[in-house]
C-alpha cells in the first residue's frame, strides 16, 4: 500500500518500546503502535515521549501505523 493511501491522524507519543516501536494516543482517544517511516530514519529525526506526530494508519489494520511527521512545538 502506498503512503498516499494511508489515513492521516494526529496523536501524541506516550511510550517508546523496544525495537523502534512507539505507542501513540490519537486525538480520538485510541491507542496504536507505530514505527518511524523511512525518511525519518534516513534523516535521523528523533521522536521522544510527548511529541505531537502525524501517523499514517492503514484502513485494513487500524492498530498499527507509520509516523510520517513530527510537529514542531
Q: What is the CATH number of the domain that holds 18?
A: 2.40.50.140
Cell, residue 11: 496523536
pLDDT range class, residue 2, cuts 50, 70, 90? confident
pLDDT at 5: 86
Considering its fold, how many domains does the chain have in total?
1
- Tens of pLDDT, residues 9-56: 999 999 999 899 999 999 999 999 999 999 999 999 999 999 999 999
Tell me which residue of 58, 56, 59, 54 sits closest to 69, measured CA to CA: 54
Q: What is the pTM of this model?
A: 0.91
What does the pLDDT read at residue 73? Answer: 79
Identify any residues that bridge with 9 across adjacent strands, giving them in sequence order. Answer: 55
Range of the domain at 30: 3-70
How far, in Å, CA of 10 to CA of 30, rounded?
11
Amino acid at each position: 500500500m502506498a503512503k498516499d493511501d494511508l489515513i492521516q491522524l494526529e496523536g501524541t507519543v506516550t511510550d517508546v518500546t523496544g525495537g523502534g516501536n512507539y505507542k501513540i494516543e490519537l486525538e480520538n482517544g485510541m491507542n496504536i503502535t507505530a514505527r518511524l517511516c523511512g525518511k525519518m530514519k534516513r534523516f535521523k529525526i528523533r521522536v521522544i515521549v510527548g511529541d505531537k506526530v502525524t501517523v499514517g494508519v492503514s484502513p485494513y489494520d487500524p492498530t498499527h501505523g507509520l509516523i510520517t511527521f513530527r510537529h514542531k512545538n
